[in-house]
Structure 1
Amino acid sequence: MSTTDLSNQHNDPTFDSLWEELNWRGLVQVSTDPQSIEDALASGPITYYCGFDPTAASLHLGHLVQLLLLRRLQLGGHNPIGLVGGSTGLIGDPRQTSERVLNSRETVAEWVELLREQVQRFLSFEGENAARMVNNLDWTSQMSAIDFLRDVGKNFRVGTMIKKDIVAKRLNSDEGISYTEFSYQILQGMDFLNLYREYNCVLETGGSDQWGNLTSGTELVRKVEGATVHAIGTPLITNSDGTKFGKSEGNAIWLNPELTSPYAFYQFWLNTADADVVDRLKVFTFRTREEIEELGRLTETEPYRREAQKALAYEVNTLVHGEEATRKAIAASAAVFGKGQFSDLDEETLASVTAELPHAEVSADQTTIIDLLVATGLSESKSAARRTVKEGGVSLNNQKVTDGDAALDASDLLHGRFALLRRGKKNLAAVTVV
């Protein structure tokens, strides 16, 4: 995985305060005390944290919001702590619908290291406000159940806990909620208490859907230490039509290039709707207010140019995967739209392109253009395929085909196994010869 270039990241100096910029970017949906947080950020530096549970082998798009918020606060001179939940990951926060399947300790430990590497890429570990990484297993593994109940559990009231939105929903469902998941908010609250004691951490960030867990920490610190600490809940990322994208919706966009390729990642952002693109630029890029407003104006006046989408796709792909991966993704995108050559793409990039297309595996003796058009579903029958070829509507690797009965030659295979067929301008499919 590439290293993120942090050197060209800056907050926008045209805002009167960091808090003003965070709100303009739409990063604050709910907070404990806006004025107190604004004052603390202005008079800082303060120490703050965000936690990431290892419930999968990679972080996804929703986590990127938190990673960039951590970075923006660090650029403002504050001290970030990235927490990976080695203990909370063994439990799992309550889901909306059903109980989580508990992963093995070995799996969770492996995922902790993968997530630690991902989080570290987005923060600076140098300078006066260098980031720090922690694992909450370090302070929970030595605690006995009796100590947990006596020292921490006694500060929580069941009546308050069951009023938390997610807990209330689960209690009213057919499945209910186990004591294990019910206790999750206590564990997360204990994180904040420990970080307050150890590092004078006074702010936690997280998604607004985690608000009950976030405030369990602020309340625990208040009860045990008599101190006021704060939380910021960021909005869930949704499309203008109200639909949500994320892991729970079954269409996760992963930050690990082995799970979502840089090409697929680039295409995801490039396909952002006009109605959503300005909001995405605010949240996911370090473009200035002036630059984003200009891109918004171009989206209104010349939407066909898709300048805002191109800027968004370039910025976020480079942020997550690096400049070289973005360059390859742009070249692949140009080839897909008939404005570049598939033969210019390296094997890994070409494989990621074919993975996103209608695809057929064919044997070496099933390799005429007519056969391939039918095998990939670009044509319903051989007669239809032959007619399309005759009309000049078929290309192979972006080169026009004139003889549909010609056999696919070894020289036609890219990297010895791939071929790209196009019918018309927009219908593209991939073939792998096995």
Structure 2
Amino acid sequence: MNELLKDLQFRGLISQMTDEEGLDKLLSSEKIKLYSGFDPTADSLHIGHLLPVLTLRRFQLNGHHPIAFVGGATGLIGDPSGKKAERTLNSSDIVQNWSDRIKEQLSRFLDFEATENPATIANNYDWIGKIDVISFLRDVGKNFGINYMLAKDSVQSRIESGISFTEFSYMILQSYDFLKLYQDRQCKLQIGGSDQWGNITAGMELIRKTEENAKAFGLTIPLVTKADGTKFGKTEGGAIWLDPEKTSPYEFYQFWINADDRDVIKYLKFFTFLSVAEIEQLEKETQEAPEKRLAQKTLAEEVTNLVHGEEALKQAMKITEALFSGNIKALTATEIIQGFKDVPTFEVNEEGISLIELLVQAKISPSKRQAREDIANGAVYINGDRNQELEKVITTQDKIENQFTVIRRGKKKYYLIKFT
């Protein structure tokens, strides 16, 4: 078997594949063009998109030519795959803006400047936006039987709850994309999540009907699941985005470092470029000493570095260490914002406020009496340092970059004081 396919198989990255023997022979004999599509349904990709993006990168590292495909047209329609209800339709201006942002994100993972096998960008609005309804129905739609489309999971799962003609037509549009890329760019392989199998095989069928002696292939990647049954890529704060403004590098790092022991090796195979030997060694160490969480630390470092870069990784690790050790004073104001994004925040606009007054106003302690008890009992920490001084007044020395003070009550209850 071709080395690339062997590696994908080891990593568990192959869910379904059309004509394994034919694809094996093709990859062994030539450097092919392949694509995976990303519809702009938000202003950022999230970690659910990371698996197909990194799979494109694996192909590129093996000398093949990936096409990063942005669905500027299909993003206006909505993919019914995996959805229980109709998507909200967005305006063309919004979709265009999101398309541009997604192109920028894809450039972090794929090399568009490579001399021998550069990645390229495609946007289906370039051809779907120009086609008229009559031509589309005559030249493309006539190749699709209703019974054939109804048999596809993406449509069948929505029949009872309802599906509009708009979303019903999505499969035809995606199939047309594969045909156009096959004709114009000699693209022979489409990859995507396993929920895209119906759309991918429909595209191959359209190519077969339209192009003489054509040979196209499809490969799907498993949808990522978590061992505890919760949805991958979701936290209490929502989705884990690739945009650092939506999910900070610290939050991103924390998501990976908290991976379940039952999931961590699978994630190392999926989301890192570590070798087989390195992954097997980490698997062994996880079995022998799970309390060290070496696999989780490696996973968090590798993926954070890959998505956000070395500087952001160092910052995320610094915040993690400061919170673990209690050395809050070591953090900058920017790092405080990242590390304490979700803790209760209280704004103060007066100078020289007493600690007792602050504890009550910020609702850290319910009363002045309780505040005095908390301080006297050593339960109150200012920027990581225990304070038992009842007459304590918050001064400039207690402010990090003159902007923040972090109060901790007890072992884990943090509060962020912001000075305005």
TM-score clears 0.5: yes
For 1:285, give the aligned amino acid: T
Code of the residue aligned with 2:116 in structure 1: it is E
Aligned equivalents of 2:235, 2:168: Cα separation in 1 = 20
- Which letter maps to 1:128? E
1:270-289 map, 5 Å: 270-289=257-276
Match of 1:165 in 2: 153
Instruction: Provide the rounded CA distance (Å) in 2 between the counterparts of 1:79 and 1:366.
Output: 63
Gapped runs of 5+ residues in structure 2? none
1:294 is aligned to 2:281: yes
Q: Tell whether 2:93 aligns with 1:111.
A: no
Q: 1:207 aligns with which of 162, 187, 193?
A: 193
* Residue type at the aligned position of 2:414: L
Structure 1 match to 2:297: 310
Task: Work out the CA distance in 1 between the residues paired with 2:66 and 2:164.
Answer: 33
Q: What is the CA-CA distance between 1:416 and the residue it aligns to?
A: 1.9
Q: What CA distance in whole angstroms lies between the structure 1 residues aligned with 2:358 and 2:281?
A: 46
Within 5 Å, give how 1:85-100 maps onto structure 2.
85-94=71-80, 96-100=83-87
- Asked whether 1:141 is paired with 2:141, we answer no
* CA-CA distance at 1:184 after TM superposition: 0.6
Which amino acid is the alignment partner of residue 418 of structure 2?
T
Separation (CA, whole Å) in 2 of partners of 1:51 and 1:16: 24
> Greater shift after overlay, 109-118 or 16-25?
16-25
- Following the alignment from structure 1 to structure 2, what is the Cα–Cα distance between the partners of residues 137 and 346? 44
User: 2:251 aligned to 252, 261, 264, which one?
Assistant: 264
Task: Name the counterpart of 1:419.
Answer: 405
Structure 1 residues 247 and 211: CA distance shift in structure 2, 3 A: farther
The one-letter code of the counterpart of 1:141 is: G
Which moved further from structure 2: 197-206 or 350-359?
350-359
Deviation of 1:267 (Å): 1.0
Q: What does residue range 322-337 of structure 1 map to in structure 2 within 5 Å?
A: 322-337=309-324
Return the alpha-carbon distance in structure 1 between the equivalents of residues 29 and 301 of structure 2: 35
Q: 1:298, CA displacement in angstroms?
A: 2.0
Distance 1:229 1:376, change over 3 A: farther
Give secondary structure in 1 for the equivalent of 2:60: helix
Whole-Å separation in 1 of the counterparts to 2:12 and 2:363: 44
C-alpha separation between the residues in 2 aligned to 1:134 and 1:165? 27
> Which runs of structure 2 are paired with 1:14-413 in the superposition (5 Å)?
17-94=3-80, 96-125=83-112, 126-173=114-161, 176-226=162-212, 227-246=214-233, 251-338=238-325, 341-364=327-350, 367-374=353-360, 379-413=365-399
Distance 2:28 2:181 in 1: 21
Specify the SS of the correspondent of 2:173: helix
1:332 Cα deviation (Å)?
A: 0.8
Alpha-carbon distance, 1:404 to partner: 4.2
209-218 or 198-207: which moved more? 209-218
What's the CA shift for 1:178? 0.8
Amino acid at match of 2:126: D
- What amino acid does structure 2 have at the position aligned with 1:162? L
How far 1:364 sits from its partner (Å)? 2.8
Whole-Å separation in 2 of the counterparts to 1:153 and 1:248: 41
Q: Aligned AA for 2:145?
A: R
SS at match of 1:170: coil
Provide the secondary structure at the position in 1 that maps to 2:415: strand
Assess if the C-alpha contact under 8 Å between 2:332 and 2:400 holds in 1: no
Quick one: which amino acid aligns to residue 107 of structure 2?
Q
Structure 1 segments (4+ residues) deviating >6 Å: 247-250
Q: For the Cα contact (< 8 Å) 1:328–1:345, is it kept in 2?
A: no
Instruction: Give the distance between the partners of 1:51 and 1:166, measured in 2 at CA.
Output: 16
Q: Which amino acid aligns with 1:342?
A: I
- Aligned-partner Cα distance in 1 for 2:122–2:318: 39
Query: Contact (CA 8 Å) 2:329, 2:384: kept in 1 or not?
Result: no
**Displacement after TM superposition at 1:337 (Å):** 1.3
Q: Distance in 2 between matches of 1:302 and 1:50?
A: 39
User: How far 1:382 sits from its partner (Å)?
Assistant: 4.1
SS of equivalent residue, structure 2 residue 239? coil
Partner SS state of residue 80, structure 1: strand
The alpha-carbon distance between structure 1 residues 374 and 70, as it changes in their structure 2 partners (threshold 3 A), is: farther
- Give the AA of the match of 2:389: D
Equivalents in 2 of 1:412, 1:189: separation in Å? Answer: 62
* Structure 1 residue 183: Cα displacement: 0.4
CA distance in 2, matches of 1:250, 1:398: 25
Q: Secondary structure at the match of 2:295?
A: helix
Q: CA RMSD in A?
A: 2.1
SS in 1 for 2:313: helix
Does the CA-based 8 Å contact 1:60-1:247 persist in structure 2? no
For the structure 1 residues 87 and 384, does the alpha-carbon distance in structure 2 shift closer, same or farther, using more than 3 Å as the test?
A: same
| Superposition TM-score, scaled by structure 1 size | 0.90
* TM-score, normalising length: structure 2: 0.93
Moved more, 238-247 or 274-283: 238-247
Q: Secondary structure at the match of 1:83?
A: strand
